[in-house]
């Protein structure tokens, strides 16, 4: 088992949407013999983008998994979506791999989305190889992409290889470490050739720099290099490079063309040479941290534990729990404990995945393995499964909160529960989705990482569960408040024969600063109102405040002081004083100035520098207040306060404005007085809805 694990590799493909990740994955699978042909995104024939929604969009909407052999060593590969709308669970994937193959587009270079993804990867300090792809394209610019990695991502790249030619003349690479040149053919085969004469001087200079970079990371090698450079062998360089990559001190850079299948063999060789095994760490023994601060030793003979980082649906096998083996050895008949649900889960079927194809796994699996287990009854994404005698729950990485919400409604009345149940099933697969009911508005709200994310979830629900949810803009959570101060009486008296109803209260009501909430002050003296009826007045005020006065939205930021009243020894009751409190509230609202409050979001937009003026102008047109901007490495980050009502379709606008190069995040910040035109429109819509 130790020999197998020593050569096992588990890594993820990361990069912005459209950079060519899936084409690279197809190339790797084809070159490794895992697929019989080279799939193409344009034809909808890729192995890893197999869902109808992915074929339609020509892009990944969920992670693609592949298990294959390279030189008799097992590789586990995860192709991640590049669109931020679909990688809300990226942190779980990064916690489940040992390394990253980070793809940068030679045509578009480093985009704002590239920078955001690299920030995520950097948090995990994962060994990384940068791959500049699309080297065969007309506008491919290797130097520009390399400078982007240096300047915009803040990485000091280690030139593992450099391209021979570009665009149509891209034919191969010079490997700086090996000091050899290789040419590629259309079948993915590699042939060693002479280093082109016009590149000889460049290669010699890069090789000297490379030797120094490697030596800096290894003191022993540095001493040998300074004494006698000729004594440093290729094996020495490879070993030192691997050590530096595992420590995340060196970041090799490679080049390829996924569509033309050029460079796949060299990438797989580099992954085998430089990426860590599941047991490798820079210092000491590898461990996994638990929620309670405990540490689990990673070893094939350790206590068995697995982390479920994704759930998928298979039309034949049903629900598949995708997990990484954290420690120990698991077999197809193992039974593990789920500490969260306190359930014992038996692994009846273990599967290796390559896209939609699954292969039964009948062998023991050790740390680092990615495997799918079918039909676990009490296990969800984010759960840890462990040895019953040695309970352990892995400390889960924090996920980003959903950015946007839409209201869901059934196409036909009466199907609300069907739609809610269908969408709820998708939440098991996609933990970055949220499904809630807004008690205030009655809306069924679906929240996700972006508009495309939510639209795709609805498409999937229609296809799988035969329901017809309709998306509509959610009700904006406006609020109401008051300004000024008023004293009023609330009196409820009713005589219907027999016992009557009597409640009488006097209140002072006034507006409070934003964010103060609701305050109730009991200022009754002398028993004007018995103590048991005072909470009823408070309740009457609060129930009326929830329904609002202006436009049906809850009232906030006001104080009610109950200072006087009267009661009847027979006819007074809690209900009578509750009604009296409601009457007093409404009477005070008639005297005070009513104000509609609108929610303001904190918006952060990342765009290439050249789009800053357009983006700021657009935010201003949405009544936004720009707070500032930061520019670094060709990317500008703009912060602004913008009314939520103006951000409903912002994702599409930003995409068209920046050619898909912009990204934004949004979160609620505070409430402000709505301008009169906005308030009048909201109030009119509420009045019309009530009349209808």
Residue that the structure tokens 């404990």 belong to: 337
Predicted pLDDT of residue 2: 78
Does 540 score more than 80 pLDDT?
Answer: yes
Does 650 score more than 90 pLDDT?
Answer: no
Give the residue-averaged pLDDT of 164-180.
Answer: 89
Which string of DSSP letters, residue by residue, matches 513-546?
A: -TT--EEEEE---TTSS-GGGHHHHHHHHHHHHH
Q: How far apart are CA 445 and CA 442, in angstroms?
A: 9
Predicted pLDDT of residue 676: 94
- Residue 61 has what DSSP assignment? S
Average pLDDT, the chain: 89
* H helices present in 289-430, as ranges: 416-429
Residues contacting 232, CB < 8 A, separation 6+: 211, 215, 221, 224, 225
Nearest to 325 by CA among 279, 388, 370, 374: 370
Strands (E), 304-452: 305-314, 318-327, 335-338, 343-346, 350-354, 357-360, 370-374, 384-386, 404-410, 434-437, 444-448
Give the residue-averaged pLDDT of 261-284.
Answer: 90
State the fold for domain 597-687: Alpha-Beta Plaits (3.30.70)
Instruction: Indicate whether this model's pTM tops 0.75.
Output: yes
Give the residue-averaged pLDDT of 72-78.
Answer: 96
Asked which of 118-132, 223-237, 497-511, 512-526 is least confident by mean pLDDT, the reply is 223-237
Residues contacting 73, CB < 8 A, separation 6+: 7, 8, 9, 272
CB 220 within 8 A of CB 210: no
Does 199 score more than 80 pLDDT?
Answer: yes
Structural tokens at position 338: 């789920």
Structural tokens at position 178: 């090996």
pLDDT, greater one: 460 or 674: 674
Which string of b and e fits 228-265 if b means at least 16 CB within 10 Å? eeeebeeebbeebbbbbbbbebbbbbbbbbbbbbbbbb
- Find the radius of gyration of the CA atoms of the chain: 31
Does 414 score more than 80 pLDDT?
Answer: no
CATH of domain 479-591: 3.30.230.10
Q: How far apart are CA 683 and CA 660, in angstroms?
A: 37
Predicted pLDDT of residue 435: 85
| DSSP helix/strand/coil, 69 | strand
Predicted pLDDT of residue 441: 61
Give the residue-averaged pLDDT of 276-305.
Answer: 90
Predicted pLDDT of residue 412: 76
Residue 552 pLDDT level (bands cut at 50, 70, 90): confident
CB 506 within 8 A of CB 545: no
| DSSP helix/strand/coil, 339 | coil
Which string of DSSP letters, residue by residue, matches 587-648?
A: HHHHHSEEEEEEEEEEEEEEEEGGGHHHHHHHHHHTT-EEEEEEEETTEEEEEEEEEGGG-T
Give the residue-averaged pLDDT of 340-351.
Answer: 92
CB 380 within 8 A of CB 308: yes
Does 550 score more than 80 pLDDT?
Answer: yes
Give the residue-averaged pLDDT of 440-452.
Answer: 76
Residues contacting 525, CB < 8 A, separation 6+: none
CB 234 within 8 A of CB 116: no
The tens digit of pLDDT for each residue in 602-637 reads 998 988 888 999 999 999 999 999 999 988 777 888
Residue 542 pLDDT level (bands cut at 50, 70, 90): very high
Does 446 score more than 90 pLDDT?
Answer: no
CB 407 within 8 A of CB 437: no
CB 555 within 8 A of CB 549: yes
Predicted pLDDT of residue 454: 86
Give the residue-averaged pLDDT of 549-576.
Answer: 92
Predicted pLDDT of residue 404: 74
CB 682 within 8 A of CB 594: no
Q: How far apart are CA 538 and CA 156, in angstroms?
A: 64
The tens digit of pLDDT for each residue in 5-64 reads 999 999 999 998 888 899 999 999 999 999 988 888 877 888 888 887 888 878 888 899
State the fold for domain 287-386: Elongation Factor Tu (Ef-tu); domain 3 (2.40.30)
HEC string of 566-577 equals ECCCCCECHHHH
Predicted pLDDT of residue 635: 82
- Residue 387 has what DSSP assignment? -
Whether 287-386 shares its CATH topology with 479-591 is answered: no
Does 675 score more than 70 pLDDT?
Answer: yes
Does 495 score more than 80 pLDDT?
Answer: no
> How many Cβ atoms are within 10 Å of 213's Cβ, its own excluded?
18
Does 440 score more than 70 pLDDT?
Answer: no
The tens digit of pLDDT for each residue in 353-396 reads 999 899 999 899 999 999 999 989 899 999 999 999 999 999 99
Predicted pLDDT of residue 564: 95
CATH of domain 404-472: 3.30.70.870
Give the residue-averaged pLDDT of 102-127.
Answer: 90
Residue 439 pLDDT level (bands cut at 50, 70, 90): low
Does 480 score more than 90 pLDDT?
Answer: yes
Per domain, the residue ranges of the chain are 2-195+242-274, 287-386, 404-472, 479-591, 597-687
The domain 2-195+242-274 is classified under which CATH number: 3.40.50.1360, 3.40.50.300, 3.40.190.10, 3.90.550.10?
Answer: 3.40.50.300
**First and final C-alpha spacing in the chain:** 71
Structural tokens at position 661: 């190069």
Structural tokens at position 21: 């990740």
Distances (CA, A) of 675 to 264, 359, 478, 559, 682: 59, 61, 13, 24, 11
Task: Report the DSSP pairing between strands 625-632 and 635-643.
Answer: antiparallel
The tens digit of pLDDT for each residue in 582-594 reads 999 999 999 999 9
Task: Report the DSSP pairing between strands 251-255 and 128-133.
Answer: parallel
| Cα atoms found within 13 Å of the Cα of residue 422, Cβ hemisphere only | 22
pLDDT, greater one: 601 or 1: 601
Percent of the chain with pLDDT over 90: 52
Residue 188 pLDDT level (bands cut at 50, 70, 90): low
CB 270 within 8 A of CB 254: yes
Structural tokens at position 22: 């899936």
Does 473 score more than 80 pLDDT?
Answer: no
Residue 231 pLDDT level (bands cut at 50, 70, 90): confident
Residue 222 pLDDT level (bands cut at 50, 70, 90): confident
Which string of DSSP letters, residue by residue, matches 239-261?
A: HHHHHHHHTTS-EEEEE-BTTTT
Which string of DSSP letters, residue by residue, matches 75-126?
A: EEEEE---SGGG-TTHHHHHTT-SEEEEEEETTTBS-HHHHHHHHHHHHTT-
CB 257 within 8 A of CB 169: no
- Residue 137 has what DSSP assignment? S
Give the residue-averaged pLDDT of 168-188.
Answer: 86
């Amino acid at each position: 088992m130790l020999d197998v694990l020593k050569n096992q590799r588990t890594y993820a493909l990361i990069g912005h949407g459209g950079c060519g990740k899936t084409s690279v994955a197809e190339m790797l699978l084809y070159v490794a013999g895992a697929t019989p042909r080279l799939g193409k995104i344009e034809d909808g024939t890729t192995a890893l983008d197999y869902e109808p929604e992915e074929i339609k969009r020509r892009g990944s909407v969920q992670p693609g998994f592949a298990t294959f052999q390279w030189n008799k060593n097992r590789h586990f590969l995860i192709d991640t979506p590049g669109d931020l709308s679909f990688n809300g669970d990226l942190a779980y994937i990064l916690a489940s791999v040992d390394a990253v193959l980070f793809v940068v587009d030679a045509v578009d270079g480093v985009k704002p989305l590239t920078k955001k993804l690299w920030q995520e990867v950097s948090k995990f300090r994962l060994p990384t190889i940068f791959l500049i792809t699309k080297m065969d394209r007309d506008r491919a610019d290797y130097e520009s992409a390399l400078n982007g990695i240096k300047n915009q991502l803040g990485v000091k790249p280690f030139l593992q290889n450099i391209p021979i030619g570009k665009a149509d003349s891209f034919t191969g690479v010079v490997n700086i470490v090996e000091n050899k040149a290789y040419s590629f053919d259309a079948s993915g085969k590699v042939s060693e050739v002479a280093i082109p004469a016009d590149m000889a001087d460049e290669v010699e200079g890069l090789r000297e720099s490379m030797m120094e970079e490697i030596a800096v990371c290894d003191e022993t090698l540095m001493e040998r290099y300074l004494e006698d450079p000729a004594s440093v062998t290729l094996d020495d360089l490879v070993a030192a490079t691997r050590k530096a990559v595992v420590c995340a001190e060196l970041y090799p850079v490679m080049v390829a063309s996924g569509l033309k299948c050029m460079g796949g063999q060299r990438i797989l060789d580099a992954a085998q040479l430089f990426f860590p095994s599941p047991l490798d760490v820079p210092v000491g023994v590898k461990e996994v941290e638990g929620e309670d601060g405990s540490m689990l030793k990673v070893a094939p003979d350790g206590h068995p534990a697995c982390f479920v980082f994704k759930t998928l649906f298979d039309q034949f096998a049903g629900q598949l729990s995708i997990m990484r083996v954290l420690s120990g050895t698991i077999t197809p008949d193992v039974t593990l404990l789920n500490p969260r649900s306190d359930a014992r889960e038996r692994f009846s079927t273990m599967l290796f995945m390559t896209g939609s194809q699954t292969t039964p796994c009948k062998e023991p699996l050790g740390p680092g393995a990615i495997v799918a287990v079918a039909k676990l009854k009490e296990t969800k994404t984010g759960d840890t499964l462990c040895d019953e005698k040695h309970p352990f729950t892995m400390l889960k990485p924090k996920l980003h909160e959903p950015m946007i919400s839409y209201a869901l409604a059934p196409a036909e009345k009466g199907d609300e529960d069907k739609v809610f149940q269908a969408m709820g099933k998708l939440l098991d697969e996609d933990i970055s989705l949220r499904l809630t009911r807004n008690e205030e508005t009655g809306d069924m709200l679906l929240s996700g990482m972006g508009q495309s994310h939510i639209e795709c979830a609805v498409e999937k629900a229609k296809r799988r569960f035969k329901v017809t949810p309709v998306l509509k803009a959610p009700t904006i959570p406006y609020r109401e408040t008051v300004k000024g101060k008023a004293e009023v009486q609330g009196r409820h008296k009713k005589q219907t024969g027999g016992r009557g109803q009597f409640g009488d209260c006097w209140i002072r009501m006034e507006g409070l600063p934003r964010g103060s909430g609701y305050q109730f002050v009991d200022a009754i003296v002398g028993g004007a109102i018995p103590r048991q009826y005072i909470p009823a007045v408070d309740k009457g005020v609060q129930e009326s405040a929830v329904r609002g006065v202006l436009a049906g939205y809850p009232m906030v930021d006001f104080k009610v002081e109950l200072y006087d009243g009267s009661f009847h020894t027979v006819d007074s009751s809690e209900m009578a004083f509750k009604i009296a409190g409601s009457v007093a509230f409404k009477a005070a609202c008639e005297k005070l100035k009513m104000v509609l409050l609108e929610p303001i979001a904190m918006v952060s937009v990342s765009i290439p520098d050249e789009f800053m003026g357009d983006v700021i102008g657009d935010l201003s047109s949405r009544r936004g207040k720009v707070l500032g901007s930061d520019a670094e490495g060709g990317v500008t980050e703009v912060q602004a306060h913008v009314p939520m009502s103006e951000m409903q379709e912002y994702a599409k606008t930003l995409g068209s404005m920046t050619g898909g190069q912009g990204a934004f995040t949004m979160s609620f910040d505070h409430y402000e007085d709505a301008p009169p035109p906005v308030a009048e429109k909201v109030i009119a819509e509420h009045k019309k809805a009530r009349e209808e």
